[in-house]
């Protein structure tokens, strides 16, 4: 997630890990969003608690790959004139592997489903640093990587007109459109609540905050970020990713940096 680079320029990885000791909490909104999206895609009750339990046989992930690939073929046939504008070279490569329906947990078939899904994700260009290993899914060892991989598929699917898409992907589109064609995107009450929360957190963490406009700020005179409400969370769009507002601002607080340095004598 964007933001770690700034911290690492001041302190080493061990101290950075102390500053970022709240990773699970800040990751929760993305997991909630992905679970909700997959629920809608396949009409199942998927949440943060049962997310890996339902996906760990790899079957739904292979179905997701097949659905997005098919959507890309249909979109490219019907929207030839839009491909250049959206920087689309053509449909995604086909998912040609056998899918094992009803694979038992931790079985060879479950691992094969996972491996085939991962192989396809590599073919469509998902960065390997984001991907997970077969056992990471089957044995529930890489929740974050599984979630981020599925979220990235939501981004890719959006380019081809996939519906539904994750809420955070909708917000990404909204921010891009707002930057190119400014417009009001949030109700006044929501804007005020978000603005107050951002300013309160900046004060608590002793960081300099400059408001550019509703939903857009500059932190410490160098980091521009956008905010959007998502359920009970306030999410930060910075760089190419999302962070939760409390986690994002706390990572840049001078008080927290100083405390971490003092707790880690050289």
Are 135 and 208 members of one domain?
no
Are 144 and 251 members of one domain?
no
Domain boundary residue, one of 166, 196, 211 = 166
Are 63 and 17 members of one domain?
no
How do residues 31-61 score in pLDDT, each as one tens digit? Answer: 999 999 999 999 999 999 999 999 999 999 9
Q: Does the pLDDT of residue 264 top 80, yes or no?
A: no
Confidence at residue 9, expressed as pLDDT on a 0 to 100 scale: 34
Are 110 and 139 members of one domain?
yes
Are 41 and 129 members of one domain?
yes
Domain boundary residue, one of 121, 139, 166 = 166
How do residues 208-234 score in pLDDT, each as one tens digit? Answer: 999 999 999 999 999 999 999 999 999
Question: What is the distance of C-alpha 127 from the center of its chain?
Answer: 14
Are 67 and 11 members of one domain?
no
Query: Is residue 172 a part of any domain in this protein?
Result: no
Number of domain units in the chain: 2
User: What residues does 230 pair with on adjacent strands?
Assistant: 233
Are 144 and 186 members of one domain?
no
Are 153 and 217 members of one domain?
no
Which helix (H) or strand (E) is 68 found in, with range?
helix 59-78
**CATH number for position 11:** 3.30.920.20
- The whole-chain average pLDDT of the chain stands at 86
C-alpha gyration radius of the chain:
20
The stretch 237-249 carries a mean pLDDT of: 92
Range of the domain at 39: 29-166
How do residues 68-89 score in pLDDT, each as one tens digit? Answer: 999 999 999 999 888 988 889 9
Domain boundary residue, one of 108, 138, 166 = 166
Query: Is residue 16 a part of any domain in this protein?
Result: yes
**CATH number for position 136:** 1.10.418.10
Cα separation of the two ends of the chain: 28
Query: Is residue 49 a part of any domain in this protein?
Result: yes
Are 123 and 236 members of one domain?
no
Query: Is residue 174 a part of any domain in this protein?
Result: no
Are 136 and 190 members of one domain?
no
DSSP state string for 107-141:
SHHHHHHHHHHHHHHHHTT--TTT---HHHHHTT-
Confidence band for 20, pLDDT divided at 50, 70 and 90: very low
Confidence at residue 165, expressed as pLDDT on a 0 to 100 scale: 98
Query: Is residue 67 a part of any domain in this protein?
Result: yes
Are 16 and 39 members of one domain?
no
Mean pLDDT is lowest, of 4-8, 74-78, 173-177, 223-227, for 4-8
What is the Cα–Cα distance from 128 to 215, expressed in whole angstroms?
A: 32
Are 124 and 152 members of one domain?
yes
Reported residue count of the chain is 266
Confidence at residue 113, expressed as pLDDT on a 0 to 100 scale: 98
How do residues 139-154 score in pLDDT, each as one tens digit? Answer: 999 999 999 999 999 9
Q: Does the pLDDT of residue 134 top 60, yes or no?
A: yes
């Amino acid at each position: 997630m964007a933001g770690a680079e700034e911290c690492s320029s001041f302190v080493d990885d061990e101290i950075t890990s102390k500053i970022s000791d709240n990773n699970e909490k800040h990751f929760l909104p993305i997991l909630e969003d992905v679970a909700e999206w997959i629920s809608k895609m396949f009409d199942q009750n998927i949440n943060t608690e049962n997310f890996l339990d339902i996906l760990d046989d790899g079957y739904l992930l292979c179905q997701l790959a097949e659905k997005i690939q098919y959507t890309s073929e249909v979109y490219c046939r019907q929207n030839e004139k839009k491909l250049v504008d959206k920087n689309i070279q053509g449909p995604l490569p086909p998912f040609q592997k056998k899918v094992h329906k009803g694979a038992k947990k931790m079985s060879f078939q479950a691992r094969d489903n996972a491996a085939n899904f991962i192989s396809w994700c590599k073919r469509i260009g998902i960065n390997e640093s984001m991907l997970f290993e077969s056992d990471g899914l089957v044995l529930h060892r890489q929740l974050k990587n599984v979630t981020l991989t599925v979220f990235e598929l939501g981004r890719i699917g959006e380019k081809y007109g996939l519906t539904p898409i994750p809420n955070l992907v909708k917000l990404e589109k909204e921010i891009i459109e707002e930057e190119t064609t400014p417009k009001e995107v949030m109700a006044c009450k929501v804007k005020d609540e978000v603005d107050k929360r951002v300013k309160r957190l900046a004060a608590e963490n002793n960081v300099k905050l400059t408001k550019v406009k509703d939903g857009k700020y500059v932190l410490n005179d160098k980091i521009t970020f956008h905010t959007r409400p998502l359920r009970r969370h306030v999410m930060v769009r910075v760089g190419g990713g999302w962070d939760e507002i409390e986690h994002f601002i706390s990572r840049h607080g001078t008080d927290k940096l100083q405390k971490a340095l003092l707790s880690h004598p050289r």
